[in-house]
A and B are shown apart, each in its own frame.
Chain A
Amino acid sequence: AQSVTQLGSHVSVSEGALVLLRCNYSSSVPPYLFWYVQYPNQGLQLLLKYTTGATLVKGINGFEAEFKKSETSFHLTKPSAHMSDAAEYFCAVSEVYGNKLVFGAGTILRVKS
């Protein structure tokens, strides 16, 4: 069975600082991995996804993530945080031939001015 662990339910960074949100997954087959962002009182928006190929994936709003199979990780980074990045971020995994998207518990990112 697949699962996702997001380390840190809350992360706080200063504006302009590096953002690092951690995600580790468990999957019995090569996974497809996703990061979604949810702003307050809104739905989920896809930031980026890894399917196959290049392990460093670039997404919207300056975010990127690196798939590391040996570490079963898919951490999300952004070089310089902006106030508008404050939101909740969900890492998710799906099986290659499955219908289910399994989410991690989420990480709330706070950006301090």
Chain B
Amino acid sequence: DTEVTQTPKHLVMGMTNKKSLKCEQHMGHRAMYWYKQKAKKPPELMFVYSYEKLSINESVPSRFSPECPNSSLLNLHLHALQPEDSALYLCASSLGQGSSGNTIYFGEGSWLTVV
């Protein structure tokens, strides 16, 4: 079962709100990722967690705060976002630390609209 589950599928939030995106996988994967995808653009890597530790932060603004409570769960906490942060946020996971050769499995994404 190659499934990455993301909730919510759609989220509308104001610029002063605090919200969270959630991601779950039960494939025994030890690497989890957050990607951001703007309309008509490819996904861009935001964060990588490897064995529940943050291993890559692609210079993402601090208004995005990732959290990996355990090996199956990945959260993205959102606070004081800007309208330009509206995008599809994709969670993904892979078997090992690197994406080198390991297939990265993506969830369906969470559509975020900041108003």
Contact = CB atoms under 8 A, between A and B. Distances in A.
A52 B101 CA distance: 9
Contact of A100 (B41, B42, B99, B111): B99
Contacts of B48: 99-100
A43 B42 contact: no
Interface residues of B, number: 28
B30 to A, nearest CB: 12
Contact of B41 (A36, A43, A98, A105): A105
B86 interface: no
Contacts, number: 66
Nearest to A32: B101
B6, B101, B107, B109 — most chain A CB neighbours (10 Å) = B101
A60 B75 CA distance: 31
Interface in B63-112: 90, 92, 97-101, 103-109, 111
Interface residues of A, number: 25
B45 A44 contact: no
A43 B100 contact: no
A16 B5 CA distance: 34
Given A100-B56, A101-B104, A44 B43 contact: yes
Nearest to B42: A103
B99 A98 contact: yes
Interface of B: 4, 6, 31, 40-45, 48, 50, 55-56, 90, 92, 97-101, 103-109, 111
Interface of A: 32, 34, 36, 41-46, 49, 51-52, 90, 94-101, 103-106
Please provide the 5 A-B residue pairs with the shortest distance between their CB atoms, ordered closest to farther: A103-B42, A44-B106, A43-B106, A51-B101, A43-B108
6 contacts: A34-B104, A43-B106, A44-B43, A44-B106, A96-B101, A103-B43
